[in-house]
Amino acid sequence: MHFSICLFTLLAGLLPAALAVVLADPTLMINGVTFPTRAHWMRQANEALSEISGSPCPFAAFGTVIVNHTASDTGELICMGVNENSKTGNPSLHGEMSAIKNCTAILTDPHGKYRMTASEAEDAFADLTLYTNAESCPMCASAIRWAGFREYVYGTSIDTLIQKGWGQIRMPSIQIFEASFDLPTQSRLMGNILINETDPYFLWQYDPTYPCPHGCSRTSDGTSCEASFL
């Protein structure tokens, strides 16, 4: 016991304590892409909820878009995806997993725009950026690293999700990225992008006093939000 406490104290003294949690200022122009462009794509990740699920306020409000920024700095949409656990009964279909699955289907569609072979599709991810409106869980962060994405950009943090009542595995994406150095690819992580617009999608579920996302209103018993029909 004494030994482990001493060892911990020793290691703590050697580690650069602050460095692990430092992320770049979300408004910077990283890899030649400006903040207004990042904000545009993060808004599209929010919009994917309405586009795919038909409502801006599904309970599991996790949306993803996958974009090619190497074609142009403004970027080209390849595919989108949202959390489909309750729709499909497949508990692994978080928004990021749905989007990766969707992009693979779109890239390899023999009648589609890309008509890639499986191996070309696997390689294509090295050019792409994944935007998700909330920080990926360890499963999705690992899938993002396995896919070899060029960039990974998230909005609302896991810390915020936990503070606001969500059940989450308490491991930030940066930890998955830090542990992925044996993989053949590098991936740039950017966090907390446009949280003033992504957070509201996640703050109403466990707080009956929080306003519903735009386009939704409280159900009559006040416990949930639903799309308002205009």
Give residues in contact with ligand NAG (CB under 6 A): 27, 39, 52, 68, 70-71, 77-81, 98, 102, 124, 127, 194, 196-197
What's the alpha-carbon Rg for the chain, to the nearest Å?
A: 19
Compare residues 134 and 212 and give the one whose CB is closer to Zn ion.
134
Residues 91-130 that bind Zn ion (CB under 5 A): 94
Compare residues 68 and 142 and give the one whose CB is closer to Zn ion.
142
Question: How many separate helices (H) and strands (E) can be counted in the chain?
Answer: 9, 7
Secondary structure element (H or E) that encloses residue 103, with its range: helix 95-108
Compare residues 79 and 176 and give the one whose CB is closer to ligand NAG.
79
Q: Is residue 52 within 8 Å of residue 80, measured between CB atoms?
A: yes
Q: Look at strands 216-218 and 151-156 and give their pairing.
A: unpaired
Tell me if 61 contacts Zn ion by CB under 5 A: no
**How far is it, in rounded angstroms, from Cα 181 to Cα 168?**
24
Q: Which of 207, 205, 177 is nearest to 191 (CA)?
A: 177
Strand partners, 188: 151
The count of chain residues that interact with Zn ion, using the rule CB under 5 A, is: 4
For 57, the token pair is: 């306020």
140: partner contacted, choices ligand NAG, Zn ion, none (Cβ within 5-8 A by kind): Zn ion
The CB-of-184 to Zn ion minimum distance in angstroms stands at: 23
The CB-of-19 to ligand NAG minimum distance in angstroms stands at: 24
Compare residues 68 and 224 and give the one whose CB is closer to ligand NAG.
68
Question: Following CA atoms 68, 199, 205, 135 in sequence, which dihedral angle do they give, to the nearest 10 degrees?
Answer: 50
Compare residues 9 and 88 and give the one whose CB is closer to ligand NAG.
88
What is each CA distance from 137 to 18, 86, 168, in whole angstroms? 22, 17, 7
80: partner contacted, choices ligand NAG, Zn ion, none (Cβ within 5-8 A by kind): ligand NAG
Compare residues 10 and 77 and give the one whose CB is closer to ligand NAG.
77
68: partner contacted, choices ligand NAG, Zn ion, none (Cβ within 5-8 A by kind): ligand NAG
The CB-of-71 to ligand NAG minimum distance in angstroms stands at: 3
For 6, the token pair is: 């001493």
**How far is it, in rounded angstroms, from Cα 184 to Cα 57?**
38
* Residue ranges in contact with Zn ion by CB under 5 A: 94, 137, 139-140
